[in-house]
């Protein structure tokens, strides 16, 4: 039997994105679409919130993008090695009840988070259009899994190298103009993409759920770090979300807050790369 928090399977999806399946039967049994875990890759490491992308009986799979120091440290772990700790499932599951026709829009890495949402809707009997957007064909991830989780999959690439030529919002607009009707739209991806999906669906009066991923520390509603403004009121993404009504979110404030630590993060990323290169050079 694997050890607690052991990485049983690791897959490289693109040069920057990998998935790990971790042995944690309790979380695997409880986690629902839209929920996340917080893990540490090393005893002195930062806490990393990652969305549960899929579960099997005993394994929790997360998909991560190497964007900085902590995710690069996580990526240094291989199959057979263990995470330091893993807590979850955290957050409120994505609401899927009562939806008969849905569009799920994922942007880049957001497709890994859109996947369980589409699957939950599909399993609950909804007809699901899944629109997955990527910069280019080489960056497309989880295509087979997404196709299996929906009725119709539309892959979009910004440069037209695969599927629909353009942004996910372009494809969604095309579908809406062609007369497609949905009970609800779910948008998961970069803040700017979610903002423009909401701008598009508002005139159609089409309920739109977005998944907010602000910086989180404790993940239990105590530090206040993950606050977002919804309808003028402060909400904590870790306990009130991460999903919110996209027509009520103050996106501009969230986008401004997301860049607060940019300089510090860039410095840590550069230091991490230097450390790795130092190790390779002997």
Ligand X SMILES: Cc1cc2nc3c(=O)[nH]c(=O)nc-3n(C[C@H](O)[C@H](O)[C@H](O)COP(=O)(O)OP(=O)(O)OC[C@H]3O[C@@H](n4cnc5c(N)ncnc54)[C@H](O)[C@@H]3O)c2cc1C
Q: How far is the CB of 110 from ligand X (least distance, A)?
A: 9
Which partner, ligand X, ligand FES, none, binds residue 64 by CB below 5 to 8 Å per kind? ligand X
**Cα R_g (the chain), whole angstroms:** 19
* 276 near ligand X (CB under 6 A): no
Q: Tokens 């989880």 appear where?
A: 142
**What are 165's two structure tokens?**
């030529």
* 8 A C-beta contact, residue 63 and residue 19: yes
Residue among 222, 255, 256, 274 that touches ligand FES (CB under 6 A): 222
* 8 A C-beta contact, residue 18 and residue 12: yes
Residue among 223, 229, 247, 265 that touches ligand FES (CB under 6 A): 223
Which partner, ligand X, ligand FES, none, binds residue 113 by CB below 5 to 8 Å per kind? ligand X
* 8 A C-beta contact, residue 75 and residue 66: yes
Phi-psi region of 29 (alpha: psi -120 to 50; beta: other; left: phi over 0): alpha
153-212: which residues touch ligand FES (CB under 6 A)? none
* 225 near ligand FES (CB under 6 A): yes
* 112 near ligand X (CB under 6 A): yes
DSSP letter for each residue of 75-129: HT--TT-B-SEEEEEESPPPP-TT-SEEEEEEETTHHHHHHHHHHHHHHTT-EEE
As a dihedral over the C-alpha atoms of residue 269, residue 238, residue 186, residue 210, rounded to 10 degrees, the angle is -70
Residue among 37, 216, 230, 249 that touches ligand FES (CB under 6 A): 216
Of 89, 91, 117, 93, nearest to 103 by C-alpha is 117
59-78: which residues touch ligand X (CB under 6 A)? 62-65, 67-71
Q: How far is the CB of 242 from ligand FES (least distance, A)?
A: 10
* 241 near ligand FES (CB under 6 A): no
* 35 near ligand X (CB under 6 A): no
Interface residue list for ligand FES (CB under 6 A): 216-219, 221-226, 236, 238
Q: Give the binding site for ligand X (CB under 6 A).
A: 36, 46, 48-51, 62-65, 67-71, 109, 112-113, 213, 215-216, 242, 258, 265, 268-269
């Amino acid at each position: 039997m694997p050890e607690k928090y052991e990485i049983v399977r690791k897959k490289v999806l693109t040069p920057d994105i990998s998935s790990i399946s971790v042995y944690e039967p309790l979380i695997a049994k409880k986690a629902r679409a839209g929920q996340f875990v917080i893990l540490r890759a090393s005893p002195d490491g930062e806490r990393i919130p990652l969305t549960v992308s899929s579960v099997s009986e005993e394994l929790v799979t997360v998909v991560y993008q190497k964007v900085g120091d902590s995710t690069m440290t996580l990526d240094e772990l291989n199959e057979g090695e263990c995470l330091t700790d893993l807590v979850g499932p955290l957050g409120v599951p994505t609401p899927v009840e009562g939806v008969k026709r849905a569009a799920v829009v994922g942007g880049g890495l957001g497709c890994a988070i859109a996947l369980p949402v589409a699957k939950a809707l599909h399993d609950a009997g909804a007809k699901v259009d899944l629109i997955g957007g990527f910069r280019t064909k080489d960056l497309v991830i989880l295509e087979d899994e997404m196709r299996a989780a929906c009725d119709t999959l539309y892959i979009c690439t910004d440069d037209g190298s695969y599927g629909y030529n353009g942004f996910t919002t372009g494809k969604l607009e095309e579908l809406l103009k062609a007369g497609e009707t949905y009970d609800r739209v779910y948008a998961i991806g970069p803040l700017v993409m979610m903002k423009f999906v909401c701008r598009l669906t508002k005139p159609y009066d089409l309920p739109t759920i977005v998944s907010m991923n602000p910086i989180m520390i404790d993940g239990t509603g105590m530090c206040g770090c993950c606050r977002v403004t919804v309808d003028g009121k402060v909400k904590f993404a870790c306990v009130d979300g991460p999903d919110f009504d996209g027509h009520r979110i103050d996106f501009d404030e969230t986008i401004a807050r997301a860049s607060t630590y940019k300089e510090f993060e860039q410095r840590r990323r550069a230091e991490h790369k230097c450390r790795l290169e130092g190790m390779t050079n002997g």
